[in-house]
Amino acid sequence: MSSSSSSRKTSADARGESKRRTTINDIARLAGVSKKTVSRVLNNSPFVREETRLKVNSLMQEMGYTPDPQARGLAFRRSFLIGMVFDNPNAQMVVTMQEGVLDGLKGSGFELVVHACDRNGPNFLPEVAAFVERQKLFGVIVLPPISENNALVELLKERGCHYVRMASAVIDEPGNLVASTDSLATAEAAKHLADLGHTRIGFIAGPPGFRSREERRKGFLEGLKKHGIDLPAKNMVDGAYTYESGIAAAEKLLKLSPRPTAIFASNDEMAAGVYHAARQLGLSIPGDLSVVGFDDTPVSSRLWPPLTTVRWPIHDMGRAAAQHLLRAATDQAPDADNAVFPAFLVERESTAAAPK
Amino acid sequence: MSSSSSSRKTSADARGESKRRTTINDIARLAGVSKKTVSRVLNNSPFVREETRLKVNSLMQEMGYTPDPQARGLAFRRSFLIGMVFDNPNAQMVVTMQEGVLDGLKGSGFELVVHACDRNGPNFLPEVAAFVERQKLFGVIVLPPISENNALVELLKERGCHYVRMASAVIDEPGNLVASTDSLATAEAAKHLADLGHTRIGFIAGPPGFRSREERRKGFLEGLKKHGIDLPAKNMVDGAYTYESGIAAAEKLLKLSPRPTAIFASNDEMAAGVYHAARQLGLSIPGDLSVVGFDDTPVSSRLWPPLTTVRWPIHDMGRAAAQHLLRAATDQAPDADNAVFPAFLVERESTAAAPK
DNA sequence: CTGAAAGCGCTTACAG
DNA sequence: CTGAAAGCGCTTACAG
């Protein structure tokens, strides 16, 4: 049965069963070269005669040969897997990002391994470290908020694991970063509300521990200040990026007297909570209350009236993250142009002139 | 530098750098057995003296040894990866399912590799086949609607790849299936509407090619029939499981005369579209129009009024799928009790007595 | 119950 | 520009 190394086609192949996959040995034998030479072609080594390269390549094509990632990985001491590490309350964001990453990875030979974790768990860092080491990951894409964890990034560096941090501001070098411009976008949102004549404004912040909380707040407050508006402390409440927390936060804000005429929620889920609270109080949007969200997730257009919100190109950013890692895989320099993605306001129908 | 096989701790280890991971050879040497014996312990072979097993196990623990999945995989001729293959318009469903799977896989040593595909693409099947072969996947979890593709399943069987089909009805044997009871749930929804006195009812179906389309329709129609209600053909329109298609379908249904007093949409996204269309026509929900959805995704509670819908335990089903594969990995018999999960109606505020 | 040899499909390190 | 040998960290097939 071990005719595998002596004849071009085993009988199983001939019968179309083809139990055994083509290996580097098959290609080497057929090309009349050593397997080391095939390996050189595979790895784009410059030390191969053009003629040899062509012959090997066409043979690989003909036989439908793809190198075994496990065998390669074992020899390389690293795998062809890329991890996506996340602990994020925003499900929609996670899928969209994931789809973008898959998009960018398509046809690269790298596969995406997803890894959910609990950033508050006692073994958070050791578990991620174990994951990275066990699978010998080539690289990791880290979603917020754990992308902001410097100890995590340090741990990845120590292990020689490439990484890309998804973030809401520039917190690393290009090549290790894909960021949106949250503070610019919320400044734009602030300007929008100011232009509509709002001065009594409520702000629902994201949860502590998220850089996006800070970025969105900073941009919004600075934007207001440019228009001469200062937000009193009582007009700012914390949320948790969840629907329920949005309801609770809005209830607090809408109890204020004088009542705010506009509320900015730091994400769409919380903005949906604002809608709920407003409705309970009989307030109409945008007649009595203007609302702005952040994320432009599907829910923003399902709400009534459709939500004015900030859009950031999640899918494209996911793809960019994949591309950064693929550049690293082929020893190309980081692509600085592919690191920062503008977020911007999308005006819909939840904002209107401030009531007199 | 090749002191690795002669001393217990290399100097790097002693300095806490520990560049080299512990391998099966280290454990064998320390335990004073052959690596084959360590391998036996690793694979739960019964042919190991209890004493030996204990010594090896405690040594593995002490050294923090985990076998290298790539090396094991190469020798086993299969990997410790599980694929999740999907092409589904419902992002929320995909994440929730994925989280359930990750939950079930936690601590198993198996990792989840996600693979989006295009079921209408020219190379759909060959691409999935290539994915499965290249990665030598242990198993695959297939999401609807491609879980209903028998050619795909055949292809997996041929390659000896374990699989679990996620479905809306019993379409395979337990162990290869995790299904919800969609038709029972929509029968329940039909009864609910009938009990409220609705007789002029609109039905928005899912897109052709989805088994869930058939199950949900069948259950709903049978449920109505039990209450003596027959749906004329013009009261049934097709949707695509998307928001936009829900709007379009509802516009058709609400043009009917007499106008339906209730609409069942085969998923929540389309139900959200019904809300939109109703609002454009100045119809109030549930006063003028009752609406029922399916999925109980977050959007159903963000809508106003909160949507009466069908809930199915997506997360639990994802976990069950993982558990089926893990049973297969340890040669346990399929767990028939863990295959069918009831879906059921969740009454909220979008349904009320039919207007007189 | 245990082990020595060979092999999984690649790459590294070395030599030419 | 090319190749033979050894090795990555495991398991299979065989022997005892």
- Phi first, then psi, for residue A291 (nearest 5°) are -135, 135
pLDDT higher than 50, residue B13: no
Chain B residues close to A81, C-beta within 8 Å: 111, 113
Q: Cβ distance A296 to A309 under 8 Å?
A: yes
The structure's pTM equals: 0.91
- B259: confidence class by pLDDT, cuts 50, 70, 90: very high
Query: Chain C: nucleotides under 7 Å from a protein CB?
Result: 1-5, 7-13
pLDDT higher than 50, residue B10: no
The residues of chain B that CATH labels 1.10.260.40 are 3-67
In angstroms, rounded to a whole number, what is the distance separating the alpha carbons of residues B161 and B133? Answer: 9
In angstroms, rounded to a whole number, what is the distance separating the alpha carbons of residues A246 and A274? Answer: 6
B50: Cβ under 7 Å from strand C? yes
Q: Cβ distance B91 to A96 under 8 Å?
A: yes
What pLDDT digit, counting tens, does each position of B273-297 carry?
999 999 999 999 999 999 999 999 9
CA B165 / C1′ C11 distance in Å: 38
Q: Which residue is nearest to nucleotide D11 (CA to C1')?
A: B75
Which CATH number describes the domain made up of B182-311?
3.40.50.2300
Tokens of A56: 């090997």
Q: pLDDT value at position A353? A: 97
Closest nucleotide to B51's CA, by C1' atom?
C1
Chain A residues close to B112, C-beta within 8 Å: 113-114
pLDDT higher than 70, residue B45: yes
Q: pLDDT value at position B19? A: 62
- How far is A135 from chain B, CA to nearest CA, in Å? 7
B271 contact partners, CB below 8 Å, separation of at least 6: B246, B263, B265, B291, B292, B293, B294, B300, B303, B307, B309, B350
CA A313 from centre of chain: 10
> Interface of chain A against chain B, CB under 8 Å?
21, 66, 68-71, 73-74, 79, 81, 91-92, 94-96, 98-99, 102, 111-116, 130, 133-136, 243, 269, 272, 275-276, 279, 298-299, 301-304
pLDDT string in tens for chain A (356-residue length) = 333 333 333 333 333 344 678 999 999 999 999 999 999 999 988 988 988 999 999 999 999 999 999 999 999 999 999 999 999 778 888 989 999 999 999 999 999 999 999 999 999 999 999 999 999 999 999 999 999 999 999 999 999 999 999 999 999 998 999 999 999 999 999 999 999 999 999 999 999 999 999 999 999 999 999 999 999 999 999 999 999 999 999 999 999 999 999 999 999 999 999 999 999 999 999 999 999 999 999 999 999 999 999 999 999 999 999 999 999 998 889 999 999 999 999 999 999 999 98
In angstroms, rounded to a whole number, what is the distance separating the alpha carbons of residues A266 and A213? Answer: 7
CA A111 / C1′ D14 distance in Å: 37
Chain A residues close to B302, C-beta within 8 Å: 243, 272, 275-276, 299, 302-303
CA-nearest of A188, A215, A194 to A347 is A188
B57 contact partners, CB below 8 Å, separation of at least 6: B41
Looking at domain A182-312, what is its CATH homologous superfamily?
Response regulator (3.40.50.2300)
Greater confidence, B239 or B20?
B239
Q: Cβ distance B124 to B134 under 8 Å?
A: no
- 3-state SS string for chain A: CCHHHCCCCCHHHHCCCCCCCCCHHHHHHHHCCCHHHHHHHHCCCCCCCHHHHHHHHHHHHHHCCCCCHHHHHHHHCCCCEEEEEECCCCHHHHHHHHHHHHHHHCCCCCEEEEEECCCCCCCHHHHHHHHHHHCCCCEEEECCCHHHCHHHHHHHHHCCCEEEEEECCCCCCCCCEEEECHHHHHHHHHHHHHHCCCCCEEEEECCCCCHHHHHHHHHHHHHHHHCCCCCCHHHEEECCCCHHHHHHHHHHHHHCCCCCCEEEECCHHHHHHHHHHHHHCCCCCCCCCEEECCECCCHHHHCCCCCEEEECCHHHHHHHHHHHHHHHHCCCCCCHHHCEECCEEECCCCCCCCCC
Angle at A109 (CA atoms; ends A104, A112), nearest 5 degrees: 60
Listed range (B173-177, B216-220, B249-253) with the worst mean pLDDT:
B173-177
Query: Reading across the β-sheet that carries B177-180, which strands appear in turn?
Result: A340-341, A177-180, A162-167, A139-142, A81-86, A111-116, B111-116, B81-86, B139-142, B162-167, B177-180, B340-341
Q: Cβ distance A261 to A200 under 8 Å?
A: yes
What pLDDT digit, counting tens, does each position of B286-325 carry?
999 999 999 999 999 999 999 999 999 999 999 999 999 9
B317 contact partners, CB below 8 Å, separation of at least 6: B97, B100, B166, B178, B180, B341
Q: Does the beta-carbon distance from B95 to A99 stay under 8 Å?
A: no
Q: Cβ distance A95 to B95 under 8 Å?
A: yes
Neighbouring C-alpha atoms within 13 Å toward the C-beta of B157: 9
CA B109 from centre of chain: 20
- Phi first, then psi, for residue B277 (nearest 5°) are -65, -40
Tokens of A23: 């290996």
In angstroms, rounded to a whole number, what is the distance separating the alpha carbons of residues B340 and B290? Answer: 30
B316 contact partners, CB below 8 Å, separation of at least 6: B100, B341
Tokens of B18: 């520990």
Q: Is B302 helix (H, G, I), strand (E, B) or coil?
A: helix
CB nearest to A114's CB, from B112, B130, B135: B112
**Which one-letter amino acid corresponds to residue B212?**
S
Neighbouring C-alpha atoms within 13 Å toward the C-beta of B260: 29
What pLDDT digit, counting tens, does each position of B128-177 carry?
999 999 999 999 999 999 999 999 999 999 999 999 999 999 999 989 99
Which CATH number describes the domain made up of A75-180+314-342?
3.40.50.2300
Average of pLDDT values for B339-350?
Answer: 97
B216 contact partners, CB below 8 Å, separation of at least 6: B168, B182, B183, B185, B186, B205, B206, B266, B294
Q: pLDDT value at position A249? A: 98
Q: pLDDT value at position B21? A: 84
Task: Select the residue from B302, B304, B309, B314 to test the A interface by mutation, using most A Cβ atoms within 10 A.
Answer: B302
pLDDT higher than 60, residue B9: no
The residues of chain A that CATH labels 3.40.50.2300 are 75-180+314-342, 182-312
The residues of chain B that CATH labels 3.40.50.2300 are 75-180+314-342, 182-311
Nearest Cα residue in chain B from A19: B159
Q: Is B170 helix (H, G, I), strand (E, B) or coil?
A: coil
Quick one: CA torsion of A177, B69, B67, B71, rounded to 10 degrees? -120
Greater confidence, B17 or A182?
A182
Nearest Cα residue in chain B from A22: B134
Cβ atoms < 10 Å from Cβ of B29? 19
In angstroms, rounded to a whole number, what is the distance separating the alpha carbons of residues A199 and A354? Answer: 8
**Which one-letter amino acid corresponds to residue A261?**
T
Domain B3-67 CATH (choose: 1.10.15.40, 1.10.260.40, 3.30.1490.20, 1.10.760.10): 1.10.260.40
CA-nearest of A158, A165, A139 to A80 is A139
Greater confidence, B41 or A6?
B41
